[in-house]
């Protein structure tokens, strides 16, 4: 006869045996002691629990021979069962802690930041996230196949305590990605591997992006790519935005050739010479009713901020956003998807930024303004 699934673990079997001993001991004590003293069932259960756990308060004791034999059996069973259950529970706790340290357990965080893959730039990425204040209330989950000593070293360097968790495994495997809970994450970063050829690294990044998008279509996914020609493939796979390795560095070096102060200016903007000087302000309903000039003048007068650009946040896209319901064929395609119960979500549209717009630019279509804090220039 096959045992039920809930009885398959050793702990469940021990709990069941202890429950049976408690039941048998309570019934036996009640049977033998009721005639002489009229003990009730609750008193019998109390005595059995105290005896089984070897606490032995002594407030209730058997007086009959049958009651004492019952007590002897309960004590013998208690020594073995309770000690075994305690050891088993301790072993489970230690095993869970070890599995968590090895990155083999699914995380239970919500609104966390996920960094998939690891390379020489990853540590600076995480530190910059911390400096931007994104890790104060949000957990960080690192998904990679680094050896245990390397992960311990990263945990020591970051010093995030319980806010840091690892998921061990290959980033292209859906079972590994699933343990990081990408559907509950705030943002996901996908980094290229350094121990591979450029083509193979980009291919792995592409497969990992597909694995992420199999489980969530709405969470922003920022990817690093090595070869410029592979950028379009990552975008088609659902990446919110991609960054070509070395692209920014090469552009900055080119600008420095004409003016050496460019690098100092960019360092100040990016917070590399002190505190971060860039910030953004979400637009309220009243501000959206105005224009760029009115907003810029108001911010300058209020606290000396220098508005730089208007921002549009990323938003989820569906099949209905790209199909024209006025066209018969597009309407038929949309109805076909909806009637079949298939998901019509296509992912998310990346954020848009318009730098130094004209004075009469209306703000209704924008979500926030990017500005420079007062006194930022050094």
pLDDT interval class at 318 (50, 70, 90): low
DSSP-derived pairing of the beta strands 306-312 and 352-355: antiparallel
Supply angle C-alpha 241, 242, 244, rounded to 5. 155
Total-model pTM: 0.67
**Per-chain mean pLDDT for the chain:** 82
CB 164 within 8 A of CB 158: yes
Q: Which two tokens stand for residue 331?
A: 């309407």
Q: At what angle do helices 122-131 and 148-158 cross, to 10 degrees?
A: 30
φ/ψ bin of 169: left (φ > 0), alpha (ψ from -120 to 50), beta (otherwise): left
Q: Provide mean pLDDT across the span 106-133.
A: 89
Torsion angle of C-alpha atoms 259, 261, 267, 273, degrees rounded to 10: 160
Q: Which fold has domain 7-93?
A: Helix Hairpins (1.10.287)
Q: Which fold has domain 113-245?
A: Rossmann fold (3.40.50)
HEC-encoded secondary structure of 226-243: CCHHHHHHHHHCCCCEEE
Torsion angle of C-alpha atoms 274, 277, 278, 279, degrees rounded to 10: 110
Q: Provide mean pLDDT across the span 213-227.
A: 92
Percent of the chain with pLDDT over 70: 85
What's CA 347's distance to the chain center, in Å?
19
Of 173 and 137, the one with more pLDDT: 173
Q: Token pair 């992006």 is at which residue? A: 209
DSSP-derived pairing of the beta strands 306-312 and 278-282: unpaired
φ/ψ bin of 41: left (φ > 0), alpha (ψ from -120 to 50), beta (otherwise): alpha
Q: Provide mean pLDDT across the span 193-203.
A: 90
Q: Which two tokens stand for residue 338?
A: 């909806």
Domain ranges of the chain: 7-93, 113-245, 276-372
Which DSSP string corresponds to 51-83? HHTT----SS---SHHHHHHHHHHHHHHHHHHH
Of 327 and 121, the one with more pLDDT: 121
Torsion angle of C-alpha atoms 23, 28, 31, 34, degrees rounded to 10: -90
Q: Provide mean pLDDT across the span 264-270.
A: 78
């Amino acid at each position: 006869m096959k045992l039920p699934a809930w009885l398959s673990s050793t702990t469940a079997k021990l709990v069941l045996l202890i429950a049976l001993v408690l039941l048998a001991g309570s019934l036996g004590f009640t049977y033998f002691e009721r005639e002489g003293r009229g003990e009730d069932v609750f008193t019998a259960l109390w005595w059995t629990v105290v005896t089984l756990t070897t606490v032995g308060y002594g407030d209730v004791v058997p007086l009959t021979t049958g009651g004492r034999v019952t007590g002897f059996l309960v004590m013998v069973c208690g020594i073995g069962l309770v000690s075994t259950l305690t050891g088993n529970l301790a072993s489970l706790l230690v095993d869970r802690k070890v599995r968590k340290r090895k990155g083999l357990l699914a995380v239970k965080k919500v609104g966390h930041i996920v960094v998939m893959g690891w390379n020489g730039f990853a540590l600076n990425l995480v530190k910059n996230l911390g400096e931007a204040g994104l890790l104060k209330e949000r957990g960080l989950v690192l998904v990679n196949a680094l050896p245990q000593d390397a992960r311990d070293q990263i945990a020591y360097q970051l010093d995030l305590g319980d806010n840091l968790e690892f998921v061990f495994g290959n980033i292209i495997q859906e079972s590994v990605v699933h343990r990081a809970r990408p559907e509950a994450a705030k943002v996901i970063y996908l980094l290229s591997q350094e121990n591979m050829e450029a083509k193979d690294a980009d291919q792995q990044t592409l497969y990992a992006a597909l694995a992420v998008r199999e489980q969530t279509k709405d969470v922003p996914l920022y990817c690093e790519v090595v070869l410029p020609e592979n950028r379009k493939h990552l975008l088609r796979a659902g990446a919110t935005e991609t960054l070509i390795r070395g692209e920014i560095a090469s552009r900055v070096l080119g600008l420095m050739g004409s003016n050496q102060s460019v690098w100092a200016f960019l360092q100040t903007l990016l917070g590399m010479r002190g505190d971060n000087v860039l910030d953004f302000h979400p637009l309220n309903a009243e501000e959206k009713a105005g224009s760029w000039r009115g907003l810029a003048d108001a911010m300058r007068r209020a606290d000396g901020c220098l508005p730089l650009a208007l921002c549009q946040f990323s938003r989820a896209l569906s099949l209905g956003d790209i199909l024209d319901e006025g066209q018969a064929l597009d309407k038929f395609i949309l109805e076909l998807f909806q009637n079949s119960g298939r998901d019509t979500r296509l992912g998310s549209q990346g954020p848009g930024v318009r730098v130094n717009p004209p004075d009469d630019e209306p703000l209704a279509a924008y979500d926030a303004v990017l500005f420079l804090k007062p006194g930022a220039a050094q």
